[in-house]
């Protein structure tokens, strides 16, 4: 597949809450190339979470055009959108979101369940992925038997086991101490370099953001600045 | 997601909350068990009554004065032994007709006594009712003609009065009058808690003298064949109506009795099953309730599964299977409970219980259906959850 991993053209998202319209995102245009390493920063309420949900295919824009891996999300049914997420996107959350009472290898294999892969193939792929994130010795451990750093590594393995184009990480180091956070970031960077998956990292931590090749700052539902376009007019036209 | 995978996930979820799953299942177990037991009891009662009526002898027809209806008082009989002779003419064979006059009397022998049913009947009775004498002999036509005081004892009466000696040839007194025991009936056993061996037969002439009456309570006819039984019935009723113009007569055949009893007991079985069905319904509501709780508890899990590619129907299927698993496992356990209880009831009480395959199939099918019906709403709710909202929930 050629072309950018993510392509957003004048994407807006408006929520309706008890009669009020809340414009969480106002006409954002954004392209994430394959293998890119992007940090999205901004204060809470700036629209970065909404943008993240749109880029992850968890939500659809109210207007504008959004292409994930070249596929337009407009007009996709919830089932088609789920399939798109399964094939193109990998998620890493601040709170890990691992299934309790479920071993590391089964947690990692979960996305492959919804791809319809057989148990043996799933297990083999999950075990290999855990090996790559340095948890080859923790296959049968459950989340409550692992440290926070190990749990986040399991989550990263789960995000990458399907071979996605984009890995979306929402505050991946938010629940970790700085040393552990550092090693998780290092892992993300290594995987980004090795596998060519585009990493989009949402964070409010300036130091974390500074490590990315490209920083996008959000404010009031718009892109306030984009380091890839410093010599251009920022999209959305902030004052 | 493959179906086998969905089953495994559902099973894991139920295992994670063992006590809750067990308690939810209990509602279904009790419901299904109740259906099986109550249908077994209803069917058992029906079978036993039918066996008893059939045991009266084949092609049997009973004739009584008055209208044979539930709730109507028996009218005073104007039938006499002459009517029995006239009916025998109609039937064409006196050996196929018997008459009866019955009364509850105390029978004594030695120092022992027993209150039992005394049946004054004709000598043709063993043939008409297909009830041969076990030992000794029945009384003869000449015994009836002369009003000889001989008695044939049912097994229970014989045991009560003569626990340690042979009753044949011994004396018993019926309402103070002496009779000689000429024979013993073979035991028939109990049906529906009624002891069918608790009676004695004496010649009808002797019974009429004993009771100071000349009436006959009813007639019994063994029709020569089944095809012409309705025709025969009409002719018998016509003959009796002609002899007693101011009295109505009812003649019922064994088939009619079977039909009426079958209908009544069928309705009874249906009502019992419906009552048990209500408890199954309540169990289903419990399943629905617990599934809604489960969906709420696992909202974040649902969000995560959706994020990694679960379609709405994958999530819906997972929760639906969980509900169906609850009710079908409950259904199987309930069938076990029902069969066990039915066997226990049959063994320990006079109430008969007959387990039928259709009640098992019905109970299991209904429990599975209950799981689907009551699982659909929670499953749909889970399937439609917005992944963004679900992931954020605590």
- Reading chain B (394 residues) residue by residue, the pLDDT tens digits are 578 888 888 888 888 889 999 999 999 999 899 988 988 888 888 888 777 777 766 788 888 887 655 555 555 667 888 999 999 988 888 899 999 999 999 999 988 999 999 999 999 999 888 888 889 999 999 999 999 999 999 999 999 999 988 999 999 999 889 999 999 998 887 766 678 889 999 999 999 999 998 889 899 999 888 788 888 988 999 999 888 888 888 888 877 878 888 888 888 888 888 888 888 888 888 999 999 999 999 999 999 999 999 999 999 999 999 999 999 999 999 999 999 999 998 888 877 788 888 888 888 888 889 899 999 999 999 999 999 989 888 6
A1 pLDDT band, cuts 50/70/90, is low
Partner B contacted by A85 (CB < 8 A): yes
| ipTM, two decimals | 0.92
pLDDT of A169 > 70? The answer is: yes
How high does pLDDT run on average in chain A?
90
With beta carbons under 8 A apart, name residues in chain B contacting A166.
none
pLDDT for residue A20: 87
Which positions ≥6 away from B264 have C-beta within 8 Å? none
pLDDT for residue A123: 95
For residues A73-80, give the mean pLDDT: 91
Answer for the pair B291, B372: CB distance below 8 angstroms, yes or no: no
From the list A138, A136, A172, the residue with the least C-alpha distance to A152 is A172
pLDDT for residue B73: 53
Partner B contacted by A113 (CB < 8 A): yes
CA–CA dist B373, B135 (Å, integer) = 63
With beta carbons under 8 A apart, name residues in chain B contacting A111.
308-309
Hey, CA dihedral for A43, A49, A55, A61, is it positive or negative? negative
With both helix axes pointing from N to C terminus, report the angle between B3-16 and B18-55 in degrees, rounded to the nearest 10. Answer: 100
- Tokens for A6? 């993510």
Answer for the pair A145, A177: CB distance below 8 angstroms, yes or no: no
Q: Are A85 and B388 a contacting pair at CB < 8 A?
A: no
Q: How many CB atoms lie within 10 A of CB A230?
A: 9
What DSSP string runs through B39-58? HHHHHHHHHHHHHHHHHT-T
Partner A contacted by B387 (CB < 8 A): yes
Name which of A80, A110, A114 to mutate to probe chain B: the one with the most chain B Cβ atoms within 10 A of its Cβ.
A114
For residues A205-211, give the mean pLDDT: 90
- Tokens for B14? 């139920």
Report the DSSP beta bridge partners of residue B190. B195
CA–CA dist B101, B99 (Å, integer) = 7
With beta carbons under 8 A apart, name residues in chain A contacting B387.
58-59
pLDDT for residue A231: 47
Pairing of strands B194-195, A89-92: unpaired
How many contiguous H segments (helices) and E segments (strands) does chain B have? Answer: 13, 12
CA–CA dist A66, A54 (Å, integer) = 8
CA–CA dist B14, B22 (Å, integer) = 9
Determine which of A61-65, A142-146, B51-55 has the lowest per-residue pLDDT on average: B51-55
From the list B27, B37, B30, B38, the residue with the least C-alpha distance to B282 is B27
CA–CA dist A74, A80 (Å, integer) = 11
CA Rg, chain B, in Å?
A: 32
Specify the CATH class of A34-60+76-229 in words. alpha beta
pLDDT for residue A71: 92
With beta carbons under 8 A apart, name residues in chain B contacting A97.
300, 303-304, 307, 391
With beta carbons under 8 A apart, name residues in chain A contacting B311.
78-79, 82-83, 114
**A window 198-237, beta carbon within 8 A of B:** none
Please count the residue pairs, one from chain A and one from chain B, whose beta carbons lie less than 8 angstroms apart: 64
Partner B contacted by A76 (CB < 8 A): no
Name which of A101, A113, A120, A171 to mutate to probe chain B: the one with the most chain B Cβ atoms within 10 A of its Cβ.
A113
Partner A contacted by B1 (CB < 8 A): yes
Answer for the pair B330, B35: CB distance below 8 angstroms, yes or no: no
pLDDT digits (tens, 9 = 90+) for A94-141: 999 999 989 999 999 999 999 989 899 999 999 999 999 999 999 999
CA–CA dist B162, B157 (Å, integer) = 8
Partner B contacted by A56 (CB < 8 A): yes
Domain boundaries, chain B: 3-52+260-392, 95-220
Nearest chain A residue (CA) to B315: A114
How large a percentage of chain A has pLDDT more than 70?
95
pLDDT of A233 > 50? The answer is: no
E strand residue ranges, chain A: 6-17, 20-32, 37-41, 63-68, 71-72, 89-92, 166-170, 198-202, 214-219, 222-226
pLDDT of A53 > 90? The answer is: yes
Label each residue of A135-152 as H, E or C.
CCCCCCCCHHHCCHHHHH
Phi, psi at residue B39, to the nearest 5°?
A: -65, -40
How many contiguous H segments (helices) and E segments (strands) does chain A have? Answer: 7, 10
């Amino acid at each position: 597949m050629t072309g950018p991993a993510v392509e957003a053209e004048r994407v807006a998202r408006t929520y309706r809450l008890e009669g009020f319209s809340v414009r969480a995102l106002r006409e954002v245009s954004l392209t994430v190339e394959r293998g890119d390493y992007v940090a999205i920063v901004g204060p809470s309420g700036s629209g970065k979470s909404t943008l993240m949900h749109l880029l992850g295919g968890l939500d659809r824009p109210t207007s504008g055009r959004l292409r994930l891996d070249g596929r337009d999300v407009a007009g996709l049914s919830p089932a088609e959108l789920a399939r798109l997420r399964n094939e193109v996107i990998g998620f890493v959350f601040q709170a890990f979101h691992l299934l309790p009472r479920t071993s590391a290898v089964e947690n990692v294999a979960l996305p492959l369940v919804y791809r319809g892969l057989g148990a043996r193939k799933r297990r083999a792929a999950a075990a290999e992925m855990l090996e790559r994130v340095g948890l080859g010795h923790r296959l049968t451990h459950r989340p409550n038997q692992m440290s926070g750093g190990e749990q986040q590594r399991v989550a990263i393995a789960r995000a990458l086991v399907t071979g996605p184009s984009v890995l979306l990480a929402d505050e991946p180091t938010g629940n970790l101490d700085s040393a552990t956070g550092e090693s998780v970031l290092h892992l993300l960077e290594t995987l980004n370099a090795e596998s060519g998956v585009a990493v989009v990292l949402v964070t409010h931590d300036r130091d974390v953001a500074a490590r990315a090749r490209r920083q996008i700052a959000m404010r009031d539902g718009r892109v306030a600045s984009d380091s890839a376009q410093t010599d251009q007019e920022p999209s959305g036209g902030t004052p | 997601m493959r179906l086998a995978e969905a089953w495994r996930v559902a099973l894991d979820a139920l295992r994670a909350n063992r006590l809750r799953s067990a308690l939810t299942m209990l509602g279904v177990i009790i419901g299904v068990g109740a259906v099986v037991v109550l249908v077994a009891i209803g069917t058992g009662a029906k079978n036993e009554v039918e066996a008893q009526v059939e045991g009266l002898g084949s092609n049997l027809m009973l004739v009584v004065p008055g209208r044979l209806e539930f709730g109507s008082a028996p009218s005073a009989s104007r039938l006499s032994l002459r009517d029995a002779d006239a009916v025998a003419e109609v039937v064409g064979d006196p050996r196929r007709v018997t008459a009866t006059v019955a009364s509850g009397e105390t029978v004594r022998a030695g120092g022992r006594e027993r209150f039992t049913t005394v049946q004054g009947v004709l000598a043709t009775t063993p043939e008409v009712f297909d009830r041969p004498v076990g030992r000794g002999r029945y009384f003869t036509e000449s015994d009836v003609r002369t009003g000889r005081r001989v008695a044939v004892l049912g097994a229970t009466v014989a045991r009560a009065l003569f626990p340690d000696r042979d009753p044949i040839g011994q004396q018993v007194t019926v309402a103070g009058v002496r009779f000689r025991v000429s024979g013993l009936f073979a035991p028939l056993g109990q049906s529906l808690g009624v002891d069918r061996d608790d009676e004695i037969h004496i010649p009808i002439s002797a019974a009429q003298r004993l009771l100071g009456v000349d009436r006959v309570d009813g007639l019994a006819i063994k029709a020569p064949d089944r095809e012409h039984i309705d025709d025969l019935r009409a002719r018998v009723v016509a003959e009796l109506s002609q002899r007693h113009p101011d009295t109505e007569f009812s003649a019922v055949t064994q088939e009619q009795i079977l039909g009426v009893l079958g209908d009544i007991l069928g309705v009874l079985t249906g009502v019992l099953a419906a009552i048990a069905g209500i408890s199954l319904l309540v169990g289903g509501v419990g399943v629905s309730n617990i599934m809604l709780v489960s969906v709420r508890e696992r909202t974040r899990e649902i969000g995560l599964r959706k994020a990694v590619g679960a379609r709405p129907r994958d999530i819906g299927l997972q929760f639906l299977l969980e509900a169906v698993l609850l009710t079908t496992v409950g259904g199987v356990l309930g069938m076990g409970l029902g069969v066990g209880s039915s066997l226990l009831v049959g063994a320990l009480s006079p109430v008969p219980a007959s387990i039928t395959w259709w009640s098992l199939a019905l109970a299991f099918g209904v429990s599975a259906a209950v799981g689907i019906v009551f699982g659909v709403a929670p499953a749909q709710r889970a399937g439609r959850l917005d992944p963004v909202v679900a992931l954020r929930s605590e």
